[in-house]
Amino acid sequence: MQRRFVSIWFRHLTTDWLALRRPELKTLPFVFAAPDHGRMLITAANPLAGAQGISPGMALADARALVPSLEMADHIPGKDAKLLKALGEWCIRYTPLVAVDMPDGLVLDISGCAHLWGSERAYLGNIIKVLRSKGYDARGAMADTVGAAWAIARFGKDTPIISPGAQAAALLSLPPAALRLETETLERLEKLGFYHIKSFIGIGRSVLRRRFGTQLLLRLEQALGKEDEPLDLLQPVQPYQERLPCLEPIRTATGIGIAIKKLLDNLCRRLEGEGVGLRTAVLKCYRLDGKVLQVSIGTNKASNFVNHLFRLFELKIPSIEPDLGIELFTLDATKVEEADPEQELLWSPESGGLEDAGLAELLDRLANKIGAANIRRYLPREHYWPERSIKPALSLQDKRATEWRTDRPRPSLLLPRPERIDVTALLPDNPPMLFRYQNKVHKIKKADGPERIEREWWLEQGEHRDYYQVEDESGQRYWVFRSGHYSGDQSGQWFIHGFFA
Amino acid sequence: MPGTKQDIINKLRKDILLLEGFKPPSAGGVGSIDLGEIESAFPNGVFPVGAIHEMMCASPEHIAASSGFIAGILSPLMKRGGACLWISAGRKLFPPSLMAFNTEPDRMIFIDLQKEKDVLWVTEEALKCEGLAAVIAELQDMSFAESRRLQLAVENSRVTGFILRCDPRKAGTSTCVARWQISSVPSQAEYGLPGVGYPRWQVDLLKVRNGSPGSWQVEWSDGHFVPLEEEKEMHEALVRNIG
């Protein structure tokens, strides 16, 4: 999936917050200041103060000289982090993956979320509008990478939304500071006259590394999307995993059974609370000698029912060799889906059909013992060619798209591949009079046909088949066909393909 | 007095049937399986559902005939939406053919196994599952003890089972409620028209517990079984009327 990120920049985070707490400050220039080396240094200034030339890092006395009416509040250490965390948690309504970007921003991983608001423009517009209406001066941008979104949010001049793949072009005209570089590197770039990213992006990698270190290259690659950038998420998505360390190594089948039951109990309680069930689970047993044994189960229907899942694992217990003993069990639900809450069947259990819970549990057990590939169900397909007229169903819930055809006779048994028979037949296109199959001669008494089935030329090349339904003297019915038109040499043209009921 | 004695014997017979695992058909149960006079061969005069039937199939032709006959029996069994399991090693059944016997092929789940031993295990597990309408298994060999295990599973779950015995030479005693042999007989197209007519079978009920074995000929036409004697009479009547 195309990954998309939104970066939000709070230009006046702490001052906006104070203005919300003390509305009378909204119309006054004010700053936060903190003591530093015996003087007061400004740590944050509100937009009004900023307009008069006051910026963070100035000494408070200098600022007072510029604006005598300047209000001052004490800097609160850690306040910005707290505010960003609260804002980030509020942003979880837009996407579950939100990270705090110190000191003044948020990063949202919005892959696959924007369509819920109609479009990316509406999505970003909604976030920024709501944040601004709450009183925070926010700027946002959207791009394929965290780095590009960060740069556009802070330095972008045109559109805040960078279409997929266009981040390189958007970055060209931005200053090097848009790459989140250290001041030292920035100063060196400034000194060398690199005022825009485009002026050094074309320079060879080795040259850049020698002059500016690996940091510049890493940031550049991250912004372009060539390097992955992990996010420190506010609320990381907890994997569905349970651990059970054992005081004494477990060596018996009963012990393993109890361990599995304990793990399942905990896991299923969590799954049930979240309204989901597991489709696949992996049990890992860490042995004393350092080996890791692994067994996995799968279910046809999402399930969080302990007894059922335990029965699936029970079939696998004999394959676990504890050897010296197992000291740690872990259980991962690798695939989790929404589960329907268990419902009592209204009438008799017979009416369950394919949705029956008992059937699903049975098939799970079978699939875990003999392999899911050996359980098949077929749906009709719109092909006349017999081998292609059915297709395997993907799941129990899979519905047929077309009706089963009943207008043509089809045999009860179909041979996996047609078998050659020796035939005596009237020329050119009568049904056979007798045929020999597996050294037995069948005299044909009655016959129907031919039903010509052409090969589908867009799928394969070859001869058509003329099918006959024939009945021999003892009443046994067969499906035989002649491959292709009658040609002078009859041998090798006739095949048996099935048996009728 | 003799009347009452007969009554008592009948009552006792019914009790014995119950003890042997035969339950009289319940009012809300499966719709009757219209097998015509064949049904009179069974205890209580109904085709026993919730029991295991054995079909002797010596050749692929027999398997084809038996699968057609079973599919005809399945259609009332599956009428209420139940699903079926077809368990075999080396299956040749062609699902679309079931449609000719009013059985929906997409509610049939096929379990294809490599080993004979697995077929027995899967069959037993399947027969224990109450959510199924029927279980059909293709087996080479089944010992008496194994058949008893299957019978016990069926007594609790009331699932109908069909075992296709592909190697009749090995057929010993079993606890199955009935042993059938279905073979094809020449069909008769309507009114002497040329071509192949509706499927027709010679149905031999070789063994039946507490019933009377017999032999019949049936035809499958218009979605149900038609006993052949009746048809012959109808045909004669028709000829008479025309004549």
Give the ipTM of the model, two decimals please: 0.85
**Model confidence at B84: pLDDT above 70:** yes
User: How many residues in total does chain B contain?
Assistant: 243
Interface of B with A in 6-65 (CB under 8 A): 28, 30, 60-61, 63-65
Is A417 a member of any domain? Answer: yes
Pair of tokens at residue B112: 């294809």
Over residues B182-202, the pLDDT tens digits come to 999 988 887 778 888 889 999
Kindly indicate the confidence band of residue B22, based on its pLDDT and cuts at 50, 70 and 90.
low
Identify any residues that bridge with A441 across adjacent strands, giving them in sequence order.
Answer: A436
Contact A303, A339 (CB under 8 A): yes
Domain boundary among A298, A325, A340: A340
A10 and A138 within one domain: yes
Q: Is residue A490 part of a domain?
A: yes
How far apart CA A124 and CA A139 sit, in angstroms, is: 10
What's the pLDDT score for residue B32? 62
Q: Residue A16 domain-assigned?
A: yes
Cβ contact B109–A377 (<8 Å): yes
In contact, B41 and B227? CB cutoff 8 Å = no
Whether B220 contacts chain A with CB within 8 A: yes
A36 with A129, same domain? yes
B28 chain-A contacts, CB cut-off 8 A: 348
Average pLDDT (B61-87) is: 88
Task: Give the pLDDT mean for B162-179.
Answer: 85
The reply to whether A233 falls in a domain is: no
Tokens matching residue B53: 């039937």
Look at residue B235 and give its three-state secondary structure.
helix
B197 contacts in chain A (CB < 8 Å)? 446
Domain assignment present for A388: no
Predicted confidence at residue A496, as pLDDT, reads 93
Q: Cis (ω within 30 of 0) for the bond into A249?
A: no
Interface test with B, best of A347, A355, A384, A412 (most B CBs within 10 A): A412
CB A279 within 8 A of CB A302: yes
Q: How confident is the model at residue B24 (pLDDT cuts 50, 70, 90)?
A: low
Q: Render A379-416 in DSSP notation, one character per residue.
A: EE-S-SSGGGSEEE-SSTTPPPSSPPP-SS---SEEEE
Q: Classify burial at A63, counting beta carbons within 10 Å of its beta carbon; exposed 0-12, middle 13-18, buried 19 or more.
A: buried
What structural domains and CATH numbers belong to chain B? 50-242 (3.40.50.300)
Q: Are residues A322 and A432 in the same domain?
A: no
pLDDT, mean over chain B: 83
Give the pLDDT of residue A179: 85
Q: Are A26 and A135 in contact (CB under 8 A)?
A: no
> Which domain, by its residues, includes A445?
413-499
Q: State percent of chain B over pLDDT 90.
A: 24
Closest CA to A107 of A137, A73, A80, A142: A142
Q: Is A500 within 8 Å of B64 when comparing Cβ atoms?
A: yes
Residues A103 and A17 in one domain: yes
Q: What pLDDT score was predicted for residue B66?
A: 93
**CA–centroid distance for A24 within its chain:** 49
Listed residues A340, A360, A382: the one ending a domain: A340
Last residue of a domain, one of A89, A113, A142: A142
B137 in A contact zone (CB under 8 Å)? no
Instruction: Give pLDDT, residue B197.
Output: 87
**Number of domains within chain A:** 3
Interface check B84 vs A, CB under 8 A: no
Q: Which residues of chain A have pLDDT under 70?
A: 340-353, 488-492
Which of A275, A246, A274 is closest to A258 using CA atoms? A246
Does A407 map to a domain? no
Structure-block tokens of residue B215: 């032999």
Q: What is the pLDDT of residue A344?
A: 44
Question: d(Cα B207, Cα A468) in Å, to the nearest integer?
Answer: 37
Q: What is the CATH number of the domain that holds A247?
A: 3.30.1490.100
- Are A221 and A183 contacting, i.e. CB atoms less than 8 angstroms apart? no
For position A103, which CATH number holds?
3.40.1170.60
**Torsion from C-alpha of B23, B29, B32, B33, nearest 10 degrees:** -80
Residue type, A74: D
- A453 touches B at CB < 8 Å: no
How far is B102 from B70, CA to CA, in rounded Å?
11
A16 plus A109 within the same structural domain: yes
| B226 three-class SS | strand
Measured between beta carbons, the chain A residues lying within 8 angstroms of B130 are 349-350, 358
List chain B residues with CB under 8 Å of A361. 129
Q: CA nearest A350: which of B159, B107, B26? A: B159
Q: Is residue A265 part of a domain?
A: yes
A392 near B CB under 8 A: no
Question: What are the two backbone dihedrals, phi and then psi, of residue A29, each rounded to the nearest 5 degrees?
Answer: -75, 130
| Contacts with B93 from chain A: Cβ below 8 Å | 412-414
Q: Would you state the pLDDT for residue B163?
A: 92
Enumerate residues 6+ apart whose C-beta is below 8 A from A6.
A107, A108, A110, A124, A127, A140, A141, A142, A149
Q: Mutate which of B75, B79, B109, B182 to disrupt the A interface (most A C-beta within 10 Å)?
A: B109
The type of residue at A85 is K
Min Cα distance A98 → chain B (Å) is 46
Alpha helices in A91-213 (DSSP H): 120-133, 146-155, 167-171, 183-191, 198-201, 205-212
Query: Residue B75's pLDDT band (boundaries 50, 70, 90)?
Result: confident
Let me know if residue A36 belongs to a domain.
yes
At A258 the pLDDT is: 92
Q: Which two tokens stand for residue A286?
A: 């860490």
